[in-house]
Chains A and B, each alone.
Chain A
């Protein structure tokens, strides 16, 4: 590739990347907390509460009316010194467990939490068995594999 073509390609790539960059929209118009620690807590809590009006979104990433109201509620509760646990409990009391994007560990959610690990272990066991069986087949095979 000539230097000129490389330069053109580089420019084209730059334009393409610029086009891919999503514009940043201000979803949450409220000013941030002056205290970065509070802002961080606000950020974390709103990312872990489900927007029930939406599908599969948290209340931090949508401008839906429901999310706006809950963000205001979270903001006020943080300002009045309520703990993260108190805010979560407040939401669960009113909306049920479904409001939490990260379900609490309980007898009901145990399967949900353990399933990925169980599936992984199951997959490893089955995979090892298959590998072992194939290995035994090869070892017992004294005939050369016929060409296809």
Chain B
């Protein structure tokens, strides 16, 4: 009886302390920023008009058999402006082509002006003014960046402005085969 009076509350305290303690070391945003229902699954297919040349179609099938990034952006998205120089650096690096998915920009004229002003890091940009392709990609904001491997499988994802550090530490090792997704 006496044992119970001390051991039981102590055990309860320890359980709570361990649970809360381990939770403290985890990034609460991690569940939303890195995981995706798509990870390890085939990249959703899309074929949409090109932003830069509306007479052309940008299709995910065009990039089959190679590594590529899919970047969700919009002119209304402030974070995308912050992220833009990083995308330009990735283009300059020339390792992985970036496919832009222009998310919910009603006026493609604005999107083109944006690319003309800040530079165009995209090998091709697909226009998704109604956000339908974005639903297939599980997108709930912009920017979001997905890495697709030559087998067409989504291997990594980042929500929010991509940083040079994330690119170097998380994305490139996957492309180099030095890290597993």
Q: What residues of chain A have their CB less than 8 Å away from a CB belonging to chain B?
A: 52-53, 65-66, 69-70, 73, 92-96, 98
- Assuming the contacts A92-B37, A94-B135, A95-B37, asked whether A66 and B32 have C-beta atoms less than 8 A apart, the reply is no
* A73 neighbours in B (Cβ, 8 Å): 135
Q: 30 A–B contact pairs at CB < 8 A?
A: A52-B32, A52-B140, A52-B141, A53-B141, A65-B131, A66-B140, A69-B104, A69-B130, A69-B131, A69-B132, A69-B134, A69-B135, A70-B135, A73-B135, A92-B37, A93-B37, A94-B37, A94-B38, A94-B135, A94-B136, A94-B137, A94-B138, A95-B138, A95-B140, A96-B35, A96-B36, A96-B37, A96-B138, A98-B31, A98-B32
Tell whether, in the assembled complex, residue B137 and residue A66 are in contact, meaning their CB atoms are under 8 Å apart.
Answer: no
Q: What residues of chain B have their CB less than 8 Å away from a CB belonging to chain A?
A: 31-32, 35-38, 104, 130-132, 134-138, 140-141
Question: Nearest Cβ distance between residue A47 and chain B, in whole angstroms?
Answer: 18
Most chain B CB within a 10 A radius of its CB, from A53, A73, A96: A96
Tell whether, in the assembled complex, residue A66 and residue B36 are in contact, meaning their CB atoms are under 8 Å apart.
Answer: no
Q: Could you tell me the distance between the alpha carbons of A70 and B135 in the complex, rounded to whole angstroms?
A: 8
Task: Give which listed residue, B35, B37, B141, contacts A66 with CB less than 8 A.
Answer: B141
Question: Nearest Cβ distance between residue A136 and chain B, in whole angstroms?
Answer: 12
**Nearest residue, chain A, Cβ from B1:** A133
Interface of A is mostly: helix
Q: Could you tell me the distance between the alpha carbons of A92 and B36 in the complex, rounded to whole angstroms?
A: 10
* B37 neighbours in A (Cβ, 8 Å): 92-96
Interface of B is mostly: loop
**Nearest residue, chain B, Cβ from A122:** B12
Q: Could you tell me the distance between the alpha carbons of A120 and B125 in the complex, rounded to whole angstroms?
A: 55
Question: Nearest Cβ distance between residue A106 and chain B, in whole angstroms?
Answer: 15
* A96 neighbours in B (Cβ, 8 Å): 35-37, 138
**Nearest residue, chain A, Cβ from B4:** A129
* B32 neighbours in A (Cβ, 8 Å): 52, 98
Q: Could you tell me the distance between the alpha carbons of A69 and B135 in the complex, rounded to whole angstroms?
A: 8
Q: Could you tell me the distance between the alpha carbons of A23 and B104 in the complex, rounded to whole angstroms?
A: 30
**Nearest residue, chain A, Cβ from B142:** A65
Question: Nearest Cβ distance between residue B72 and chain A, in whole angstroms?
Answer: 12
Q: Could you tell me the distance between the alpha carbons of A100 and B106 in the complex, rounded to whole angstroms?
A: 29
Most chain B CB within a 10 A radius of its CB, from A53, A69, A70: A69
**Nearest residue, chain A, Cβ from B35:** A96
**Nearest residue, chain A, Cβ from B8:** A126
**Nearest residue, chain A, Cβ from B39:** A96
Tell whether, in the assembled complex, residue B104 and residue A65 are in contact, meaning their CB atoms are under 8 Å apart.
Answer: yes
Smallest CB-CB A-B distances: 4 pairs: A52-B140, A96-B37, A94-B138, A69-B131
Q: Could you tell me the distance between the alpha carbons of A94 and B138 in the complex, rounded to whole angstroms?
A: 5
Question: Nearest Cβ distance between residue B10 and chain A, in whole angstroms?
Answer: 15
Question: Nearest Cβ distance between residue A54 and chain B, in whole angstroms?
Answer: 9
* A94 neighbours in B (Cβ, 8 Å): 37-38, 135-138
Question: Nearest Cβ distance between residue B136 and chain A, in whole angstroms?
Answer: 6
* B138 neighbours in A (Cβ, 8 Å): 94-96
Q: Could you tell me the distance between the alpha carbons of A52 and B38 in the complex, rounded to whole angstroms?
A: 16
* A98 neighbours in B (Cβ, 8 Å): 31-32
